[in-house]
Chains A and B, each alone.
Chain A
């Protein structure tokens, strides 16, 4: 039995954990920008961690239920309401047939993940239900949800325990300022030592151009390039390289002006140099940054990056135990 979309919010898309396996054909991994939040929401409602849910940006949708279900909202602090009555986030909630799930105003964060028992059961495309509008893949006919869409649900496992919450200590909440840890990258040597230092010393702000493809930052100083011989084919702009693959999290700086951290729907490659890569443990956090958030980039080494992701894996294990 499906749910009916009454209003859709600003940008609400169906997302699971993405479609690995097609990067070499230009299809990014996609999937939830805050993967831990989607996993937590799914665990709370008794789904597989990778089941498809909704990713709502800034504003929540209004959903009408046609059967008894369990829902959970994790990630941004976007308070859910059931028939108008406010409910806690990061908690398994009973919703009865005929009730409407809506949302109050965003308190902090940027993206809320809404999981529903059984998971959203739209047809997968290339192995995933994640919405990738550029390629018209996944979601509802390859696009974000709209009013009057009918979202089919899968078979609920019956494993949900309404009332269960993820302990506050395990929720990652963005503060007023953000720190993103960065490993300097393949083309780090292309900018001057002064610029290398300034990149980490300056305070940047999240620009309005911040979406599933990438987050742009502004407010720091222009980066200066080290002179170089003209490389074969790359063009005269010093920020250009011979086209290469852009990994998820890589930071490109077109013309040395405004860094862009590529996120889950990023183009898979291109001709801009990359000065470094945000460590994998901090990628979920980017998905929760609102425009204008003050951000510092912090230089780390590989050992720190690997330790940070071990900590993240530990938190996921604790969430699994707390919802089991």
Chain B
């Protein structure tokens, strides 16, 4: 961390970004999430909501009630406290076990990605299920889950032409990031598999599963098991196993 950070940058008149760095790393993201909790529990007047991203927290303001100068000063103070370790919380958070069927109809880019990386498809899967991933950010589409921790040997640029629609719950790789998709939507990422888990299900309690700061491990399952779990998932079961650590 250099002396530049943390720093505040206005994002229009209704949002302020608090930046902790410009790289994807767990320490930076941890500070972002600690600040998010600190802001949330401080109930600051004019703050509508906070969105943790890879390296910054975006604080949304109610333009009619927020006092820009006062709020900025408070955010600077909290951000420095976070960097000084004042808001560290005990425990490692939640670990989710997420079943995935790789390749074929479930991940149509697995073979081409493997070829581009000079690996066999089996090796790609082996390298993809090995790490414990960190949820850096949730967003884009409802519940879309951005992960850090991808094995660098699997890093692959996004597709030159994005697809206008990819299946919901796709597991994909875009650059050094991996992600679990939610509802179907446009994407330029490489699809390597699909999970029966629904990050977002409007008629399930809980509606959402993953939050920034959670950790994820993938477990390969055969296509037949995917079909069975998908039916349970559609009916409102979470399917993913959660361990609190």
Determine how close the nearest CB of chain A comes to the CB of B47; give it in whole angstroms.
10
Q: Give the contacting residue for A313; candidates B56, B64, B68; CB below 8 A.
A: B64
Q: Does A152 contact B (CB under 8 A)?
A: no
Q: Are B14 and A280 touching (Cβ within 8 A)?
A: yes
Interface range on chain A: under 10, 10 to 19, 20 to 34, or 35 or more? Answer: 35 or more
Q: Are B53 and A249 touching (Cβ within 8 A)?
A: no
Q: How far is the CA of A276 from the CA of B140 in the complex (A)?
A: 19
Q: Does A167 contact B (CB under 8 A)?
A: no
Stretch at the interface among B73-81, B108-116, B207-215: B207-215
Q: Are B141 and A25 touching (Cβ within 8 A)?
A: no
Q: How far is the CA of A313 from the CA of B13 in the complex (A)?
A: 14
Q: For the complex, would chain A's binding face be called helix, strand, loop or mixed by DSSP majority?
A: mixed
Q: Does B175 contact A (CB under 8 A)?
A: yes
Q: Does A324 contact B (CB under 8 A)?
A: no
Q: Does B177 contact A (CB under 8 A)?
A: yes
Using a CB-CB cutoff of 8 Å, which residues 6-53 of chain B contact chain A? 9-15, 17, 22-24, 36, 48-53
Q: How many A-B residue pairs have CB under 8 A?
A: 154
**Chain B contacts to A: CB under 8 angstroms:** 9-15, 17, 22-24, 36, 48-56, 58, 60, 63-64, 68, 137-144, 146, 155, 157-158, 174-177, 182-183, 185, 200, 202, 207-208, 211-212
* Given A235-B157, A268-B140, A309-B64, also A280-B12 (CB < 8 A): yes
**Residues of the A chain whose Cβ atoms lie less than 8 Å from the Cβ of B24:** 232-233, 242
Q: Does A173 contact B (CB under 8 A)?
A: no
**Residues of the B chain whose Cβ atoms lie less than 8 Å from the Cβ of A305:** 12-13
Q: For the complex, would chain B's binding face be called helix, strand, loop or mixed by DSSP majority?
A: loop
**Residues of the A chain whose Cβ atoms lie less than 8 Å from the Cβ of B157:** 235-236
* Given A20-B60, A233-B177, A306-B68, also A249-B51 (CB < 8 A): no
Q: Give the contacting residue for A232; candidates B9, B23, B49, B137; CB below 8 A.
A: B23
Q: Give the contacting residue for A186; candidates B9, B13, B182; CB below 8 A.
A: B9
Q: How far is the CA of A17 from the CA of B208 in the complex (A)?
A: 22
Q: Are B140 and A26 touching (Cβ within 8 A)?
A: yes
**Residues of the B chain whose Cβ atoms lie less than 8 Å from the Cβ of A268:** 51, 139-140
Q: Give the contacting residue for B138; candidates A26, A244, A250; CB below 8 A.
A: A26
Q: Give the contacting residue for B142; candidates A27, A29, A236, A270; CB below 8 A.
A: A27
